[in-house]
Amino acid sequence: MVGGGPLRSHARAAMTRVASVDCGTNSIRLLVADVPAAGAHTDLLRRMEVVRLGEGVDATGRLAPQAIERTRRVLAEYAAAARDLGATAVRMVATSATRDAANRGDFEDMVVATLGQKPDVVSGREEAELSFLGATASLDAAATAHGSPPPRPPFLVVDIGGGSTEFVLGDGSGVRAARSVDIGCVRLTERHLRGDPPTAEEIRRAEADIRSALDQVRAEVPVDEAVSLVGLAGSVTTVAALALALPAYDADAIHGSRIAVDDVRAVTADLLAATRARRAAMPVMHPGRVDVIGAGSLILRVLMDEFGAAEVVVSEHDILDGIALRLARG
């Protein structure tokens, strides 16, 4: 049961109105969409709330009871919204924080009580595949909207999350290789970036952590085969909004934009030099990203430098869209 109404956990061809929930380390998001058999899907509702489910999990190995409760309250709202909009199927995917937690069962019990079904605590590989599907499905349409040629495959899709970052290489025929590594904006902030602003030594340690993780990626993903780097999730879209000097957050302007590495370097340097108060005052900054955007931008900057990427193609679509597409189309 979802908020009092029945929902099946998987949809098939006749099911076009679906709800997907992505529960990450930092935020929980909802998409209710109409998905045709082929072509672009139509959003009915998108929501994102920062619940910090992974608060402290890197240090304790456990999900905090207050973090589970914050997540429960938002999930109850999402379940009601999906029911009210007539979604015929729902899938909730939970990622890094719950994979790592010793008390994962407490979280799963809460989801069953709230949503009526267990979350899919996916592997890093499936998380990356869903991100790839969601990120690349609408790139051609976004390029057309910007009046630019579509980015060329193979794509290296990078999804910078709160607890982990997914790297997946693929093209129109599917995924070639993928790797999830335990660097994310929340995890790195808690490990290293404690100053306001962080010190040079804190930043140096964070950079070393990122480079170590990138060595793991290179061991499994032939990143040199990629022609286009595609970046997604809140850290990347916020960096793009700042690089574009937008007066307010504008998803249409951000989706499909191309941000040069020099602009990423400049935005990252500014964010890491800023106090929390100055970051909070930036007009494109979501309140839930104020504390962790420095680490997120640093991950993007270091990986672009390490992989020799001249630009990043920014996607507003990600694992949430991939969940919906796979749910509706199988």
pLDDT digits (tens, 9 = 90+) for 194-250: 999 999 999 999 999 999 999 999 999 999 999 999 999 889 999 999 999 999 999
- 80 vs 41, more confident: 80
Q: Note the pLDDT of residue 89.
A: 94
- Give backbone dihedrals phi and psi of 137, rounded to 5 degrees, phi first: -60, -30
For the chain, list the strands marked E by DSSP: 17-23, 27-34, 42-50, 89-94, 120-121, 155-160, 165-171, 174-181, 228-232, 258-260, 311-315
pLDDT at residue 125 tops 80: no
Max mean pLDDT range (52-56, 129-133, 255-259):
255-259
Residue 197, preceding peptide bond in cis (omega within 30° of 0): yes
- 39 vs 204, more confident: 204
3-state percent breakdown (helix, strand, coil) of the chain, nearest 5 = 45, 20, 30
Q: Note the pLDDT of residue 38.
A: 81
Q: Note the pLDDT of residue 32.
A: 98
Mean per-residue pLDDT, 14-28: 86
Q: Are strands 311-315 and 258-260 parallel, antiparallel or unpaired?
A: antiparallel
pLDDT at residue 281 tops 70: yes
- Residue burial 263-291, b: 16+ Cβ < 10 Å; e: rest: bbeebbeebbebeeeebeebebbbebbbb
N-terminal to C-terminal alpha carbon distance within the chain: 22
Mean per-residue pLDDT, 319-329: 93
Q: Are strands 228-232 and 311-315 parallel, antiparallel or unpaired?
A: parallel
SS3 33: strand
- 232 vs 5, more confident: 232
pLDDT digits (tens, 9 = 90+) for 251-278: 999 999 999 999 999 999 999 999 999 9
Contact 226, 132 (CB under 8 A): no
How far CA 229 is from CA of 189, 253, 304, in Å, comes to: 24, 18, 9
How far CA 251 is from CA of 2, 8, 159, 316, in Å, comes to: 29, 31, 17, 7
pLDDT at residue 3 tops 50: no
